[in-house]
Amino acid sequence: MSHVPRVHVLQNFLGADGEITGQITSQIGADGVWIQFDCECTEALPTCKAACCALRGTYLTPEEASSDFYDCFVEEESGLPVLRRDADGWCTYLDRDTRRCSIYENRPQTCKNFHCTRGANVRGWKLSNAVNRHSVN
């Protein structure tokens, strides 16, 4: 008997025509609980709390690094320019109160290209390592 993950829709986003344009779901499987965002980044923020802004490795293109717009440094291990993090580990451009990017319109290409879970091969954010066991009578 194979285990089929249980998917729960947490939120749907509707277009002007009433059609679903995106959604946030949770998936409970044998390996834990995952959350998936198939929506626009700004729609996911109330749920994800900008978790991507704590990821390491927000690399800049050479043009971005030399623009003097971004607070960056050359990472020792990769030799590449990377956005600076504050002492709390979050991106220096993340507004801690609103959880929004203070330079969103001018964010680096790495940030523009990133989407946390959209795509057929992406599992999502792992929320829990809990293993769910069910008894069958």
Spell out the per-residue pLDDT of the chain, length 137, in tens.
555 668 899 999 999 999 999 888 888 877 778 788 888 888 888 888 888 888 877 899 999 999 989 999 999 988 999 999 999 989 999 999 988 899 999 999 988 888 776 555 665 666 655 444 444 44
Residue (of 79, 75, 81, 74) closest to 59 by Cα position: 81
Instruction: Return d(Cα 46, Cα 37) in angstroms, integer.
Output: 12
What pLDDT is recorded for position 118? Answer: 59
Which strand (E) or helix (H) includes residue 20? strand 20-29
Please give the structure tokens belonging to residue 130: 């809990």
| 8, β-bridge pairs | 26
The burial of 16, by beta-carbon neighbours within 10 Å (0-12 exposed, 13-18 middle, 19 or more buried), is given as exposed
